[in-house]
Structure 1
Amino acid sequence: MMSKLQTAVTDLLDKKQIPYRLLPHKTPAISVQDAAEQRGVSPSQMVKTIVLRDMGGRLALACVPGDQQVDPKKVRQLLDCRRMTCVSSDEVKLITGFEIGTINPIVTATPMPVFLDIHFQQHQYINISSGDRMAGIELTLSDLCHLCQPTLASLCRELD
């Protein structure tokens, strides 16, 4: 078992006195499914955070359940722009301060609007990345919303 992990995310939660539970992994998580299994939670409680950019360079964080895919068209409509695409993997760390797989909606190097999928409203507790592949963080949906002030909307790709 790991001792208390300290990251920019845990530092912020501690500073703001937000209750959370650290969920350590035995091995570095390699996928959302792997992280969910190691944490003993449903992938639908996992917040998958994707960085999107429009043609003018405007950035946004789209947060969807771990078992879903973001539909960039839906985020595009919310921002009233013509095109939204995922940023390249090379740019993710520069923009967020975190590696792919450790991005979270509450601490980013570059401020940007956060969009949170409405599917999360069915859960009292949700899981975000701690900023480290060796642990996740469980907190209430209301605390997450208080911290990142997201726009709640339908963001998931419709399955055929």
Structure 2
Amino acid sequence: MSEERAVAAVEATGIAYEVTRHGPVGSLAEAAAARGIEPRQLVKSLVVRRADDDFLFVLVPGDRTISWPKLRQLLGVSRMSMPDAAVALEATGYERGTITPFGSLRAWPVVVDERVDGTISLGGGAHGVGLKVDAGDMIRVLDAQVADVSEPQ
């Protein structure tokens, strides 16, 4: 059901998209290769908790990670955390490794790292499923905030 929810949500936005499917992979690099893209184009959708029942999505290129100091400064908060897998599932309706802002159980705010551009692939709601979209279109339809929130891995 999760894949169908994600695809229906991106379809409802009216932006161009492509669903890609592949078998099990052991790393982000393998997933990018299976989707025919560079690791930086495989965008990680990370769930961040600001407070009880207050989450947001932070989208960063696959070859980078969240910069906690930059994100805290952007949001004006002193503490944030990554919820465990069960809490992330409850907050979004998606398992880790499948998370996408498209079709989340709640429309949490979205912050996108400024390096996310061009054709990207993000989680498609199920393991081995990706949604290829144009980053600018995604940012627009998700009303995402774009900022420098990542650092090299």
Q: TM-score, normalised by structure 1?
A: 0.85
1:30: how far off? 4.2
1:104: how far off? 0.9
Contact 1:96–1:109 (CA under 8 A) maintained in structure 2? yes
Report how many residues are paired.
152
Where does residue 97 of structure 2 map in the other structure? 101
Q: Which runs of 5+ in 2 are unaligned?
A: none
Where does residue 149 of structure 1 map in the other structure? 143
Matched, 1:70 2:66: yes
RMSD: 2.0
1:58: how far off? 2.8
1:37 is aligned with what amino acid? A
Distance 2:95 2:115 in 1: 25
Where does residue 126 of structure 1 map in the other structure? 120
Contact 1:98–1:131 (CA under 8 A) maintained in structure 2? yes
1:60: how far off? 1.6
Does the C-alpha gap of structure 1 residues 14 and 158 become closer, same or farther in structure 2, counting only changes over 3 Å? closer
1:94-131 per-position Cα deviation (integer Å, ceiling 9, x unaligned): 0110000011123211232110001113xx21111111
Matched, 1:49 2:49: no
Q: TM-score, normalised by structure 2?
A: 0.89
Aligned-residue sequence identity (percent) comes to 27
Contact 2:8–2:103 (CA under 8 A) maintained in structure 1? no
Distance 1:145 1:134 in 2: 23
Where does residue 109 of structure 2 map in the other structure? 113
Where does residue 11 of structure 2 map in the other structure? 14
Q: Which runs of 5+ in 1 are unaligned?
A: 1-5
